[in-house]
């Protein structure tokens, strides 16, 4: 990626964004745990459960997500995603979609969940990053010449578009579909696809979303977000949820009513601990709290793109950048729905909303991004090792260790002398610069490799 490559790859450029991702993810997760407890306590009590029951579940999911993210960071190299093993991962993802279509559970008017014992899982949360990585894999192979355009087109249709349409048709999940498309657009941008192709993809995507809304009755009803009070029931029908979201923000003001003091979470605002938790943040912490959350996601976007910028190859750049963009796109889609910019899609706020599948999936994506950063660091250290000066002393190896050690010590002493001469502004003689090779050709030769400085000038 010539447009995204930094002028030089140093350890600081690698470690900084990695640390930023870790700290930002931790901050968002801690905010989520606090807000899940605050927003869910009234609902839990109304269900005759412990006030902390939602928090306990969220802690379990956070632990599982952190463990999964750590495994993908430390033990699953990103190169594995472009190996033939990816086909097995893709096959499992598609089987999960089929399983939902066949035996999924309907909840909140949508069939998107599978039950494993008493716990539910939403497979689309995991399918989304598999499909986006698959797109990066295809484009990388096309750019490298491993496949031609015809093979690329066939695999694009069968491996990406068909599962995406199947997800949309069987689960009626426009939100997840839009998030996947955002990730695909990120792959196209980072893969240096011509802007005309990217613009055409965006236009087609927008037209398909509009067509989906217009041709589906319940989705067209959600367009009342433009005027939720005009829902035919005086604001008590389809506009009820967004109206109470507005109430929450208006009561929060600039600094909020204080942690735990939300009124709308007392069963007035539906899904206050999941899809509309941002409204509770706005009510309890005001505009300032909302801006802090938005700033954290923008910081995550910057850090993820920095990881992509310093990635060791184009495939890694597309993977790290597109997954970052997909995470942040989901966050802003959720925020846009809560503040009334977009119609309600039912997508959670990453790291903050209550829900196991979304939380674990988000941590896995962070783990994959960090695995790219880890590979970048290893590449930097490997380059440094390759560029080290190696002094080869002639000495008679057969004559014993004393003579070889003396020759090595002499070469080190000459290097120190040359350094002092350079510092004092005096240029060493040609024979000294070559380690005395001309004057004492029988005692040993010094064969320095190119220094890093000359390498940089060469690059």
Whether residues 371 and 402 share a domain: the answer is no
Mark which of 358, 383, 408 sits at the end of a domain. 383
Give the pLDDT score at 237: 78
pLDDT in tens, 269-315: 999 999 999 999 999 999 999 999 999 999 999 999 999 999 999 99
Higher per-residue confidence, 240 vs 226? 240
Give the model's confidence band at 15: pLDDT under 50 very low, under 70 low, under 90 confident, else very high: confident
Residue 5 lies in a domain: no
Q: Are residues 433 and 354 in the same domain?
A: no
- pLDDT averaged over the chain? 82
Instruction: Say if 6 falls within a structural domain.
Output: no
**Order of strands across the sheet that contains 110-116:** 105-107, 110-116, 119-121
Do 438 and 359 sit in the same domain of this protein?
Answer: no
Structure-model confidence comparison of residues 134 and 105, the more confident one: 134
Does the residue 103 lie in any domain?
A: yes
pLDDT number for residue 381: 58
Q: Could you give the C-alpha distances from 321 to 102, 185, 293, 407, in angstroms and in order?
A: 34, 11, 21, 52
Residue positions counted in the chain: 459
Q: Which of 208, 187, 174 is nearest to 322 (CA)?
A: 187
373 and 405 together in one domain:
no
Give the residue-averaged pLDDT of 251-264: 94
Matching residue, tokens 């002493």: 413
Return the percentage of the chain with pLDDT > 90, whole number: 60
Give the tens place of pLDDT for each residue, 360-403. 999 999 999 999 999 887 765 565 555 665 544 454 444 444 44
Token pair for 271 = 């899904």
**Same structural domain for residues 18 and 133?**
yes
In this structure, the answer to whether residues 240 and 168 fall within a common structural domain is: yes
Determine the pLDDT at residue 379: 62
Separation between Cα atoms, residue 241 and residue 233, nearest integer Å: 13
pLDDT at 384: 58
- Total count of domains within the chain: 2
Lowest mean pLDDT among 96-100, 139-143, 416-420: 416-420
pLDDT of residue 459: 39
Of 367, 383, 399, the one marking the end of a domain is 383
Q: Could you list the residue range(s) of the whole structural domain that residue 43 is in?
A: 11-383
- Measured CA angle at 41 (ends 246, 275), to 5 deg: 45
pLDDT over 50 at 457, yes or no: no
Residue 4 inside a domain? The answer is: no
Residue 2 placed within a domain: no
Of 376, 378, 372, 366, the closest CA to residue 23 belongs to 366
Is 324 inside any structural domain? yes
pLDDT in tens, 34-75: 999 999 999 999 999 999 999 999 999 999 999 999 999 999
Residues 362 and 419 occupy one common structural domain: no
Question: Are 358 and 396 within one domain?
Answer: no
Give tens-digit pLDDT for 215-239.
Answer: 665 555 555 556 788 777 777 877 8
172 and 36 inside one domain: yes
What local confidence, expressed as pLDDT, does residue 62 receive? 97
* Residue 198, pLDDT score: 92
Give the pLDDT score at 343: 81
Q: Are 265 and 405 part of one and the same domain?
A: no
Higher-scoring residue by pLDDT: 421, 11? 11
72 shares a domain with 217: yes
pLDDT of residue 135: 96
Q: Report pLDDT for 387.
A: 62
Q: Is residue 1 part of a domain?
A: no
3-state DSSP of 382-404: HHHHHCCCCCCCCCCHHHCHHHH
Examine the domain organization and report whether 230 and 83 are in the same domain: yes
């Amino acid at each position: 990626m010539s447009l995204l490559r930094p002028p030089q790859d140093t350890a600081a450029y690698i470690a900084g964004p990695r640390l930023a991702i870790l700290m930002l993810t931790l901050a968002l997760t801690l905010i989520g745990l606090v807000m899940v407890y605050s927003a869910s306590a009234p609902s839990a009590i109304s269900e005759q459960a412990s006030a902390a029951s939602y928090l306990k579940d969220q802690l379990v999911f956070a632990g599982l997500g952190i463990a999964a993210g750590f495994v993908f960071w430390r033990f699953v190299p990103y190169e594995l995603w472009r190996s033939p093993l990816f086909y097995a991962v893709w096959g499992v993802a598609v089987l999960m979609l089929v399983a939902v279509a066949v035996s999924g559970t309907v909840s909140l008017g949508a069939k998107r969940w599978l039950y494993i014992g008493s716990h539910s899982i939403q497979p689309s949360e995991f399918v989304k990053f598999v499909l986006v990585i698959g797109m990066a894999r295809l484009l990388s192979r096309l750019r490298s010449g491993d496949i031609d355009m015809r093979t690329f087109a066939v695999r694009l249709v069968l491996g990406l578009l068909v599962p995406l349409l199947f997800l949309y048709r069987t689960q009626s999940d426009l939100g997840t579909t839009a998030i996947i498309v955002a990730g695909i657009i990120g792959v196209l941008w980072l893969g240096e696809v011509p802007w005309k192709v990217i613009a055409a993809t965006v236009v087609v995507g927008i037209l398909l979303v509009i067509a989906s809304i217009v041709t589906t009755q319940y989705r067209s009803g959600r367009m009342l977000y433009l005027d939720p009070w005009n829902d035919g029931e005086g604001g008590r029908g389809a506009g009820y949820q967004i109206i109470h979201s507005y109430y929450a923000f208006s009561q929060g003001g600039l600094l909020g009513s204080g942690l735990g003091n939300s009124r709308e979470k007392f069963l007035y605002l539906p899904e206050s601990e999941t899809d509309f938790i941002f409204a509770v943040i706005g009510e309890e912490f005001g505009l300032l709290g909302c801006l802090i959350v938005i700033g954290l996601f923008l910081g995550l976007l910057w850090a993820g793109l920095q990881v992509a910028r310093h990635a060791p190859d184009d495939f890694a750049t597309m993977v790290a950048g597109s997954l970052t963009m997909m995470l942040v796109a989901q966050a802003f889609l959720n925020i846009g729905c809560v503040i009334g910019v977009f119609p309600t899609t039912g997508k959670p706020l990453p790291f903050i909303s209550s829900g196991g599948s979304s939380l674990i999936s988000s941590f896995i994506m962070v783990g994959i991004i960090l695995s790219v950063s880890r590979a970048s660091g290893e590449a930097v250290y490997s380059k440094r090792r390759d560029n080290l000066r190696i002094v080869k002393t002639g000495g008679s190896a057969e004559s014993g260790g004393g003579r070889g050690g003396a020759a090595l010590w002499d070469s080190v002493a000459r290097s120190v002398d040359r350094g002092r001469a350079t510092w004092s502004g005096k240029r060493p003689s040609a024979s000294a610069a070559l380690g005395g090779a001309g004057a004492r050709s029988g005692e040993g030769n010094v064969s320095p490799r190119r220094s890093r400085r000359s390498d940089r000038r060469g690059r």
